[in-house]
């Protein structure tokens, strides 16, 4: 028996999901949670292998609930079953940790297929959503270099962050304010879906951009302080 939790505010929707799963070839032991409080109590008391969730619980429309489930029950496979449009919300849901995404307009067969795949450790996506996820993956393809999407200034800030230059050093080199550096760096990190400098370094390394970043930093430093400047950026990662 696969311990399954249906997280859905609407009683009628929960009944409908149960009904659609009644004839499933996989044996499911189903519990229900109708609110955030109820969900917290359920997760504290039991282990669930599969969680079928409506992320719009209590009016939400982002990935907060999915991230909460991944943090509080990391061993559970999460299947989103929602009225939220898959092309608007689906990619973010998958990035947040969901293993499957299904619209509430799905047929019984589609729901059963999604449950089987997700409960079995696989990913379930519609063709349309799979195409959107693929677009996101292609952002990290070697053919799609940051310099093709970044402005000149954004790539300079990206390079200086990768090389370990501080915001103060970056502002001095580019002769702009700290606020400007901060805004540019936030824009760069948002575009690459990066939360830390280490992730920027990993991205640069994966794309073969480390040497280009080092060269950019050196040219900027010399251009600002002169060829004879002895105080060069000392934290440039020496990666191959």
Per-residue pLDDT of 160-179, as tens digits, reads 999 888 899 899 999 989 98
Q: How confident is the model at residue 201 (pLDDT cuts 50, 70, 90)?
A: confident
- Same CATH fold assignment for domains 2-138 and 146-225: no
Residues 6+ apart with CB under 8 A from 3: 29, 31, 46, 47, 48, 49, 50
Average pLDDT of the chain, as a whole number: 83
E-strand spans in 12-99?
28-33, 50-53, 77-82
* Position 214 confidence tier, pLDDT thresholds 50, 70, 90: confident
Q: How confident is the model at residue 127 (pLDDT cuts 50, 70, 90)?
A: confident
Which CATH number is correct for 146-225, 3.30.70.120, 1.10.40.30, 1.10.10.10, 2.40.400.10? 1.10.10.10
| pLDDT of 154 above 70 | yes
Q: Where are the domains of the chain?
A: 2-138, 146-225
User: Which of 53 and 208 is assigned the larger pLDDT?
Assistant: 53
For the segment 49-59, the average pLDDT, to the nearest whole number, is 87
Determine the pLDDT at residue 239. Answer: 42
Beta strands at 50-53 and 28-33: parallel, antiparallel or unpaired: unpaired
Place of tokens 């989103």: 80
Residue 150 DSSP class: S
Q: Which CATH number fits domain 2-138: 3.60.15.10, 3.40.50.720, 3.30.1060.10, 3.40.50.2300?
A: 3.40.50.2300
CA distance 126 to 105: 12
pTM (2 decimals)? 0.57
Closest CA to 69 of 87, 85, 93: 93
Residues in a beta bridge with 28 = 2
Question: What is the C-alpha to C-alpha distance for residues 165 and 160, in angstroms, rounded to an integer?
Answer: 5
pLDDT of the residue at 152: 84
pLDDT at 5 over 60: yes
């Amino acid at each position: 028996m696969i311990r399954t939790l249906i997280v859905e505010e609407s009683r009628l929707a929960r009944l409908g999901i149960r009904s659609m799963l009644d004839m499933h070839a996989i044996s499911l032991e189903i519990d229900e949670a109708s609110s955030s409080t109820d969900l917290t109590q359920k997760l504290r008391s039991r282990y669930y292998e599969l969680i079928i969730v409506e992320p719009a619980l209590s009016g939400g429309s982002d990935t907060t609930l999915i991230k909460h489930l991944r943090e509080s029950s990391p061993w559970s496979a999460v299947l989103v079953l929602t009225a939220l449009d898959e092309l608007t919300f689906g990619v973010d849901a998958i990035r947040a940790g969901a293993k499957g995404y299904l619209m509430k307009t799905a047929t019984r067969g589609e729901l059963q297929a999604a449950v089987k795949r997700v409960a079995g450790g696989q990913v379930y996506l519609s063709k349309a959503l799979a195409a959107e996820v693929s677009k996101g993956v292609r952002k990290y393809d070697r053919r799609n270099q940051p310099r093709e999407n970044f402005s000149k200034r954004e790539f300079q800030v990206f390079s200086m962050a990768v090389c370990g230059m501080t915001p103060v050093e970056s502002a001095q080199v580019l002769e702009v304010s700290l606020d400007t550096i901060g805004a540019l760096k936030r824009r760069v990190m948002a575009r690459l879906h990066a939360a830390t400098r280490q992730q920027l370094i990993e991205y640069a390394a994966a794309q073969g951009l480390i040497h280009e970043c080092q060269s950019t930093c050196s040219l900027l430093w010399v251009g600002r302080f002169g060829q004879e400047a002895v105080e060069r950026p000392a934290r440039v990662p020496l990666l191959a």
